[in-house]
Amino acid sequence: MSVFLGIDIGTSGTKTLAVRGDGTLLGSAAVEYPLLTPRPGWSEQDPRHWADAAVATVRQLVNDGSVDPAEVQGIGLSGQMHGSVFLDAQGEVIRPALLWNDQRTAAQCEAITDAAGGREELIRMVANPALTGFTAPKILWLRDEEPERFAQLKTVLLPKDYVRYRLTGEFATEVSDASGTLLLDVANRRWSDELLAKLNLDPGLLPPVYESQEVTGRLTAAAAEAMGLPAGVPVVGGGGDQAAGAVGNGIVRSGVVSAALGTSGVVFAHSDEMQFDPAGRAHTFCHAVPGKWHVMGVILSAAGSLQWFRNQLCMDLGDFAFDRITQRAEEIPPGCEGLYFLPYLSGERTPHADPHARGAWVGLNLRTDRAALGRAVLEGVTYAMRDSLEIIQQLGVPIGEVRLSGGGAKSPFWRQLQADIYHEPCTVTNALEGPAYGAALLAMAGTGEYESVEAACDATISVTERITPNEAVAAQYDALYPAYGQLYQALKPHFAAAAE
């Protein structure tokens, strides 16, 4: 029996799955680690914690009997994107890694845009605008603010790729994660020599780029002994967490779009051809499927908005607060009699790219009760997800099915609400394990268990529920949706003034 491991290096912890070749989950293990916030807006971690956690989770699966070491045929890696691991000539960590949610690099983003010749030229080169979360501005920050450490710099790795280095001794990355550095020529799936030259950065700082299912190294004797595995087990490229999560949910063909409602919300569309938004509202990255791309919209407070509502106004509802909120929301008519909720509790990324945006209820009246407030939250978050779907449709990416996952897929009411507001047929699958599962599927494809990533998904992932829009309700939401966007535009000057 062939067994494959998927290791996902997250922000709060690392999760490892053991998966049989037919897709059956054999076991899982997780280890948490701390987040460092040395200053407001700074977010860092010690990369060595990630590698130690990867080893510990695999060892746990071996020790508890979930995995027979002799049956492990391959390992796939997934992880938080954009983080910068700075290594010296000896491969040692120079300083804590700067993470995806670190906000210190606004000046460097402006410098990158200027060096590229403007926002449009930058998007032409690397398909995306400069954002503080991306990797390139972090490298420039190190050069600008810590020149003594920059002088030591020999290699820059992404989080999962540092773990790869610790497991295999190889420097490597793959196209989906590299797309989020702002240094990849996304159209041609290689580093952008043009932008690197404009930024005066040595291309030798960056590792070789592979396709996501390609074998990039094998377990060293030392790593294998620590994990309890045989030496030489192949490790494939893997994927950034969103691309690996999409593979893990079967988003590997044109027309299938993912709507993942976790703390944040992600709309992820597979694309057979390179498509990018000239306005930079949505991200365009290489997919973990060879020769394919994806367009992705991100909202920052999706289920996080519902969690905030529960924590602030519904703690008296007890352990089943989320269920009670959705049950009572179902009693309120669509549109909440003109009540809207803007879910911008942490600013917003897609489509506004506005760190100053804030949350709001608009349309309160004497009839408004807690049930209506709750339904407005659910509707507002789903409108925000529709914003990303609208951009994807405008780019000509086909949408035939929206595949739901995350917390928003657990509630029957919210599943139907999504189908109605998106005005698209929605589905739920048997794949609920996220990026780690996708990483294991990539390992299956890369080691020959299946002939392709698509074949691995076809063999292991199936639709378990189909949700059809209620046409009458969907028509109501089509009429209500434009006002949602108008509210942001009307309040935008106030948000900026309040930030000042």
**Catalytic-residue membership of 241:** yes
Gap between the Cα atoms of 240 and 256, Å rounded: 19
Q: Does residue 82 have a known ligand-binding role?
A: yes
The catalytically annotated residue of 177, 241, 277, 387 is: 241
Q: Cα 396–81–299 angle (5° rounding)?
A: 55
SS3 assignment, position 42: coil
Q: Does residue 1 have a known ligand-binding role?
A: no
| Helices 303-313, 321-329: inter-axial angle, 10-degree rounding | 100
Q: Which residues contact 67 (CB under 8 A, 6 or more apart)?
A: 3, 5, 18, 26, 27, 58, 61
Q: Which of 257, 485, 469, 264 is nearest to 380 (CA)?
A: 485
Question: Amino acid letter at 385?
Answer: M
Question: Amino acid letter at 26?
Answer: L
Q: Which tokens is 2 given?
A: 């062939």
Cα 200 to the center of its chain, rounded Å: 29
Residues 453/251, Cβ–Cβ less than 8 Å: no
Q: Phi-psi region for residue 432, left (φ > 0), alpha (ψ -120 to 50) or beta?
A: alpha
Distances in whole angstroms, Cα of residue 108 to Cα of each of 82, 279, 307: 15, 20, 34
Cα 456 to the center of its chain, rounded Å: 21
User: What is the torsion angle, in degrees rounded to the nearest 10, for the CA atoms of residue 428, residue 431, residue 432 and residue 436?
Assistant: -140
> In sequence order, what DSSP letters do the residues of 256-296 get, joined into one string?
EEEEEESSSEEEEEEESS----TT-SSEEEE-SSTT-EEEE
Task: Match 């045929």 to its residue by tokens.
Answer: 73
Binding positions for substrate: 81-82
Catalytically annotated residues: 241
Binding positions: 81-82
